């Protein structure tokens, strides 16, 4: 099992966190490659390695059997985009704040490194969204969390006409629309009052952003659905984005077709930790707000 180590260079404490894993691997525990951009940070943390370990980010993704991503959820989403359809499992090590995707803290690494190298871990497959649009000039975009259309820099409301499997469903009038996977239900959709969905459910969420009317409600649809949205607005442009990355600024009307991608993203999960454990820890479920 060859580990490929990458990380968010802007995260404080990245060098010390990665050093915990590299020291374990340096003791002969296993084979690894590491993003060459992190080598100076490791040297500053007192860790030196041979010339056969550093690689470019792209080569790390190509060579690794398991990708270890240090950072927050954004780092893991970036890793998933880099992996694409290749199916390499991704383990997130949390250096962020909230973080629903990262499975470990840096302090837990020494205790689990042996299991990782021996392949003793669960791999959970998560749905990926696929979107096409004439505005993308033939490009197809993918998202682990969500595809979003919004009003960009304008103060004007937009109308999002939403069709499911060819049938007109609803027109949302507001700031935009989020189409999310179960993984993305705890992201942008949650901040817009969307439901929390168990990650392994075969559904997509459709959640309006700041709807202008009280009857604009979220919808849950099967992941076999073909979702077509048409955005109309009096503003000069609207934005189409995937996992928080701006893909195109387009002049309305904008048409986008969204469906399930032909491949999943594979996340490494701990055997002894459930999704509900994560929710209780991150969202303080069941805690008395008076004593927080």
Which of the residues 35, 52, 73, 146 is marked catalytic? 73
The verdict on 147 and 244 lying in the same domain is yes
271, pLDDT greater than 80: no
Residues 6, 11, 13: CA angle, nearest 5 degrees: 90
Is 73 among the catalytic positions?
A: yes
> 7-25, pLDDT tens digit by residue?
999 998 899 999 888 888 8
Q: What is the CATH number of the domain that holds 196?
A: 2.60.200.30
Query: Residue 228: pLDDT band by 50, 70, 90 thresholds?
Result: very high
Is the separation of the CB atoms in 77 and 181 below 8 Å?
no
The verdict on 164 and 251 lying in the same domain is yes
> 51-74, pLDDT tens digit by residue?
788 999 999 999 999 999 999 888
Residue 190 has phi, psi (to 5 degrees) of: -65, -40
The verdict on 100 and 137 lying in the same domain is no
The verdict on 170 and 240 lying in the same domain is yes
As for how many domains the chain has, the answer is: 2
The verdict on 45 and 108 lying in the same domain is yes
Query: Residue 27: pLDDT band by 50, 70, 90 thresholds?
Result: low
The verdict on 12 and 58 lying in the same domain is yes
Cα 79 to Cα 7, 184, 202, 207, 209: the distances in Å are 9, 16, 23, 25, 27
30, pLDDT greater than 80: no
Two structure tokens written together for 73: 């959820």
pLDDT (0 to 100) of residue 292: 59
> 166-186, pLDDT tens digit by residue?
999 999 999 999 999 999 999
pTM of the model: 0.90
- Which residue range is the domain that position 138 belongs to? 129-260
The verdict on 150 and 251 lying in the same domain is yes
The verdict on 268 and 237 lying in the same domain is no
254, pLDDT greater than 70: yes
């Amino acid at each position: 099992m060859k580990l490929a180590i990458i990380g968010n260079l802007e995260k404080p404490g990245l060098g010390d966190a990665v050093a915990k894993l590299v020291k374990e691997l340096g003791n002969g525990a296993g084979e690894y490659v590491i993003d060459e951009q992190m080598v100076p940070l490791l040297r500053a943390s007192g860790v030196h390695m041979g010339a056969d370990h550093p690689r470019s980010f792209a080569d790390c993704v190509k060579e690794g059997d398991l990708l270890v991503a240090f950072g927050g959820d954004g780092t893991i989403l970036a890793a998933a985009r880099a992996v694409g359809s290749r199916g390499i499992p991704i383990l997130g090590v949390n250096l962020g704040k909230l973080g629903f995707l990262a499975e470990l803290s840096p302090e837990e690494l020494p205790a689990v490194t042996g299991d990782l190298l021996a392949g003793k871990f669960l791999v959970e497959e998560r749905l990926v969204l696929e979107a096409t649009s004439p505005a993308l000039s033939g490009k197809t975009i993918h998202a682990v969390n969500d595809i979003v259309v919004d009003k960009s820099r304008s103060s004007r409301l937009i109308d999002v006409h939403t069709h499911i499997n060819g049938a007109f469903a609803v027109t949302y009038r507001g700031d935009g629309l989020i189409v999310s996977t179960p993984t993305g239900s705890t992201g942008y959709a949650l901040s817009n009052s969307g439901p929390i969905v168990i990650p392994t459910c075969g559904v997509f969420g459709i959640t309006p952003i700041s709807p202008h009317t009280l009857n604009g409600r979220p919808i849950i649809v099967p992941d076999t659905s073909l979702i077509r949205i048409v955005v109309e607005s009096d503003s000069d442009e609207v934005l189409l984005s995937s996992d928080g990355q701006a893909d195109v600024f387009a002049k309305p009307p904008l048409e986008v077709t969204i469906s399930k991608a032909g491949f999943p993203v594979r996340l490494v999960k701990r055997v002894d930790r459930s999704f509900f454990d994560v929710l209780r820890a991150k969202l303080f479920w069941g805690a008395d707000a008076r004593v927080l």
